[in-house]
Structure 1
Amino acid sequence: MESLGRKIRQRRQEKGLTQSQLAEGLVSASAISQIEADKINPSYKLLLQIAERLEVPLDYFLTETGEYLEQATSHKLAKTFIMAKEYSNAVPILDNLLATGAGDELDLMMDLSTCFIHLDNLSTVKELLEKAMTMSLKADDHRAHVWSLHRLGLVYYKQHNISLAMHYWQRAYDSLLEMGVDDSFLKAEITTNLAITYNRLGHYDQSTHLFLNSQDLLKNSSNLYHLATNYLGLGLSLYGKKEYQQAQEYWQEAVTLFKSLDHIHYSIQVKENFGILRGELGDYAAALEILQECLRQYQELGSDKQLSNTHAEIAKVLLRLERDEEAAEHVEHAFALCEPNSMYHAQCYNVRSLLHAYRQENEAAIEAALLGAEVFRTLDMVHDYHKMRLHVSDLFKKLGDYKSSTEILEETQQYIQHFFKEKGILL
């Protein structure tokens, strides 16, 4: 099987382009060299840009990207472990991806640093974050640079080195302003951490001021945990200032918010993502067991929107197990529960198309897929729209209608070009 890098190099040479010419305005020539040598993999967006410059449809490359997709799935699995707080399971996956040069090195390093912080491997995480700071500056990734500083502050705080923690959090805050990073939640988190350090040092006026600033940044936030933490901190600062009545009021607000915190939906969503990934990795029995458990929990909560999506995901797994009658029942449940013209509605059409295709009802499969693609288009979900249209093209091929298959690909490519052009993005 010809690798992705070799296909890009072959097509570039056919077009008579140098690596520098292919790279111009996209990435560095050395990056193209590494991609062609299969040392690194391009992002989906970059691959789309390369395909456009080499005048081929995206699926010209995607038909031979098994390893690329496997690496993407591995990183996705690692992120799911992180969300589930199973950091020790995520570490070997991330280590392997870094060692093989697969994926975005900076993103992998940041995920690995998250794991090591929670595993208290603080000496290793400091080395990672210092390297990430340098890399992020070279890559002009300002947000990653601020995050690196922010996390270094967290490392030193965990080591009870308050002065160094404050130093790095102050640097993070200053860099965020200087670099124009537009992230109010990140700014609020750094501000809260600075407030906590000032509070611990007994500088109650400063900590109160910072807690209030953070609270202002979070006024439209739905992050109840962060809001509650701020109320708790404000209470502590005001108590330090001997303003006991106000301290009591803020503590009462904190208690109320902490009581209202509901992490149930979040935990089920994490579990559902893990179940989906087990299915992608071929462990269908485990995937089905996890997803059915999520279904029961959503039913108990009366969460119809999430129920719709879980029914659809269960149907996908059942089709892989060749249990199409059961899959059909779940598809119908999914349609009954989903909101019209939503991403969940498009997902339902997608699974209905897969069901028809499994039953070799290719014309019905095409109709369902086109309806789903249209919903994705109206939602500006270009990546999902593109995947659905590729599915339609494949279905036309199965019918022997190569003309329609080609037309679908051409129309899709034209739409994607027009979409990004309207957004002011040069492909």
Structure 2
Amino acid sequence: MTKTPMTLGGKIRALRLAKGMTQGELAGREITPGLISQIESDRVAPSERVVNLLTKALDVNPSELLSEIELRHRQTQLLRDARDLLDRSAPHAAKPLLDLLAQASISYVTKTELDLEIARLYEQLGMFPEAETLYERVSARALVHHEWMIGASSLNRQGELHLANGRYILAYHCFLQALWYLDQSTQPIPQAVFTTRKNLSITAYRLGNTDQSFDFARSAFSDVKTSGSRVDCAELCHLLSVLSMENKSGEEALAYAREAISIYSSLGQTYALTDAYMNLAIIQRERGYSQEAVSLLPQLITDYHKQGRMDALSNAWSERAQCEISIAQYEDAARSVERALALSKEESPERAEALRVQGLLLRATAQYDVAFLTLKNAAARFEALQLLNSAVATLEVMKDMILRQEKADDLFVVDELIARFSLILKQRLRVTEMTVLPPEKKHV
């Protein structure tokens, strides 16, 4: 049977016991017994001064212990380097470093720490099922060992994977658990608290609970103003502007949108600044200022084209078409919609949105039958993409067409579809309302 190699702490403990010494006797007058206990359990790496004191007390050569300290430092640096590479989305460069750590016969990196980075590696390599499975194991192990910050990080990343794949209820519960893990930590990282609350706000909004989304966003905004970066502050301003429009608070939405623009502009965040101006154009149109909105869009369309962001470019053309419909420039709107459709992918939110706007244009030009079919197509696509808020809003337009006798169709069918979508939205809403949040502490 192969004997497991000893760690530094294990060696010190074995030498102490061989000498028949207690931890207090080894500590002497210059080291505390508590520090000896931490060193022997490998929770703390001793300094060079402490190593010299220990080697004298144990009557051994310092090189016997220093080699173990060097190994510990080397492994810690490998993990740090791998983490930095993953932060820069360089998984192929990080993989050899993580492989070395995974194959080490003596490990000073905890399995939870290592597996968290391996799960990130899987995620960046596109191995999503493997990443999700490992994130689940990491968060479960972190709960057992009270590694709260690692568990919160794992749950946040797992939730972001669910969010990206439209699994909003699963994402919501992951983020909520992450907030609970952070609440257990004696020293939570403010950035982690902010990220979790922001994720909860976005997910609650997707689940149809605008009020709760607003609560999380405001809490995150409070975190940001005291300890966050200016980029984080701008992100929250952007999110709060969208939520304010949902709550029919146009002036508040406008103020948040302009603050986001101001911050992104001062930081030189080009992509984010373009998106912030796009958000401003949407707010202006929804507040009834379509002429002001349409004046912003040519530059935004140019910027998105230069940035090569085709999905965003498609949405910009759809937004321009909506503005042009509002000011009765129907020929221009038709050209804008055609560009939006040409730029969008077949099974994408951008294609569904372009079809919805095309339906609005056809209705505005009294082509009711074709408009109804186009809107029906858009609603079905929104449903398939789990964008049920958009699906219900589109069906409401179809219902209004029937009520105004613009389209002689079966109102019962539309009512039934709206009821079905509304039921799903209410079920999702109930998930967020029935969930009991963890007890608050002053840091969360």
TM-score by length of 1: 0.50
Q: Residue 16 of structure 2 corresponds to which residue in structure 1? A: 12
Question: What is the percentage of aligned positions where both structures have the same residue?
Answer: 23
Q: 1:169 aligns with which of 167, 175, 178?
A: 175
Q: Residue 108 of structure 2 corresponds to which residue in structure 1? A: 103
Change (3 A) 1:15 1:236: same
Q: Residue 45 of structure 2 corresponds to which residue in structure 1? A: 44
Change (3 A) 1:204 1:64: closer
- Following the alignment from structure 1 to structure 2, what is the Cα–Cα distance between the partners of residues 96 and 14? 33
Q: 1:204 aligns with which of 210, 214, 237?
A: 210
Q: Residue 165 of structure 2 corresponds to which residue in structure 1? A: 159
- Following the alignment from structure 2 to structure 1, what is the Cα–Cα distance between the partners of residues 61 and 162? 46
- Following the alignment from structure 2 to structure 1, what is the Cα–Cα distance between the partners of residues 78 and 167? 36
- Following the alignment from structure 2 to structure 1, what is the Cα–Cα distance between the partners of residues 132 and 212? 28
Where does structure 2 lack aligned partners over 5 or more consecutive residues? Answer: 28-32, 270-444
Taking the TM superposition and a 5 Å limit, the aligned residue runs for 1:136-147 are 136-147=142-153
* Deviations, residues 284-305 of structure 1 (Å, cap 9, x unaligned): xxxxxxxxxxxxxxxxxxxxxx
- Following the alignment from structure 1 to structure 2, what is the Cα–Cα distance between the partners of residues 47 and 116? 38
- Following the alignment from structure 1 to structure 2, what is the Cα–Cα distance between the partners of residues 258 and 67? 44
- The alpha carbon displacement at 1:182 in A equals 3.4
- The alpha carbon displacement at 1:195 in A equals 0.6
* Deviations, residues 281-340 of structure 1 (Å, cap 9, x unaligned): xxxxxxxxxxxxxxxxxxxxxxxxxxxxxxxxxxxxxxxxxxxxxxxxxxxxxxxxxxxx
184-193 or 227-236, larger mean C-alpha shift: 184-193
- Following the alignment from structure 1 to structure 2, what is the Cα–Cα distance between the partners of residues 146 and 225? 22
Taking the TM superposition and a 5 Å limit, the aligned residue runs for 1:334-353 are none
Conservation of the 8 A alpha-carbon contact between 2:76 and 2:109: no
Q: Residue 91 of structure 2 corresponds to which residue in structure 1? A: 87
* Deviations, residues 161-193 of structure 1 (Å, cap 9, x unaligned): 111000111122233335555333322211111
Change (3 A) 1:122 1:181: farther
Change (3 A) 1:230 1:99: same
AA matched with 1:196: I
1:76 and 2:77 aligned: no
Where does structure 1 lack aligned partners over 5 or more consecutive residues? Answer: 36-40, 264-427
AA matched with 2:84: T
Taking the TM superposition and a 5 Å limit, the aligned residue runs for 1:354-369 are none
- Following the alignment from structure 2 to structure 1, what is the Cα–Cα distance between the partners of residues 185 and 61? 35
SS where residue 166 of structure 2 aligns?
Answer: coil
Q: 2:236 aligns with which of 225, 230, 238?
A: 230
**Higher RCO structure, 1 or 2 (CA under 8 Å, sep 6+):** 2
1:135 and 2:136 aligned: no
Change (3 A) 1:135 1:28: farther
Conservation of the 8 A alpha-carbon contact between 1:194 and 1:210: yes
- The alpha carbon displacement at 1:9 in A equals 6.6
Conservation of the 8 A alpha-carbon contact between 2:142 and 2:148: yes
AA matched with 2:218: L
Conservation of the 8 A alpha-carbon contact between 1:110 and 1:129: yes
- Following the alignment from structure 2 to structure 1, what is the Cα–Cα distance between the partners of residues 263 and 89? 23
Q: Residue 335 of structure 1 corresponds to which residue in structure 2? A: none
AA matched with 1:78: A
Conservation of the 8 A alpha-carbon contact between 1:87 and 1:119: yes
Question: Which structure has the larger Rg?
Answer: 2
Change (3 A) 1:198 1:47: farther
Change (3 A) 1:121 1:58: farther
1:194 and 2:213 aligned: no
- Following the alignment from structure 2 to structure 1, what is the Cα–Cα distance between the partners of residues 254 and 196? 25
- Following the alignment from structure 2 to structure 1, what is the Cα–Cα distance between the partners of residues 207 and 102? 40
TM-score by length of 2: 0.48
Conservation of the 8 A alpha-carbon contact between 2:75 and 2:109: no
- Following the alignment from structure 2 to structure 1, what is the Cα–Cα distance between the partners of residues 67 and 95? 30
Conservation of the 8 A alpha-carbon contact between 1:204 and 1:238: no
Conservation of the 8 A alpha-carbon contact between 1:196 and 1:207: yes
Conservation of the 8 A alpha-carbon contact between 1:202 and 1:240: no
- Following the alignment from structure 1 to structure 2, what is the Cα–Cα distance between the partners of residues 22 and 120? 51
AA matched with 2:192: L
AA matched with 2:98: L
AA matched with 1:193: N
AA matched with 1:104: V
Conservation of the 8 A alpha-carbon contact between 2:86 and 2:121: yes
Q: Residue 329 of structure 1 corresponds to which residue in structure 2? A: none
Conservation of the 8 A alpha-carbon contact between 1:235 and 1:248: yes
AA matched with 1:94: L
Q: Residue 120 of structure 1 corresponds to which residue in structure 2? A: 126
* Deviations, residues 85-133 of structure 1 (Å, cap 9, x unaligned): 3122112321331232533132222222333333332212222222212
- Following the alignment from structure 2 to structure 1, what is the Cα–Cα distance between the partners of residues 154 and 125? 17
SS where residue 16 of structure 1 aligns?
Answer: coil
- Following the alignment from structure 1 to structure 2, what is the Cα–Cα distance between the partners of residues 58 and 149? 45
Conservation of the 8 A alpha-carbon contact between 2:169 and 2:207: no
Q: RMSD over aligned Cα, in angstroms?
A: 4.0
- The alpha carbon displacement at 1:236 in A equals 0.9
Change (3 A) 1:183 1:247: same
AA matched with 2:78: S
- Following the alignment from structure 1 to structure 2, what is the Cα–Cα distance between the partners of residues 180 and 4? 28
- The alpha carbon displacement at 1:64 in A equals 6.2
- The alpha carbon displacement at 1:211 in A equals 0.9
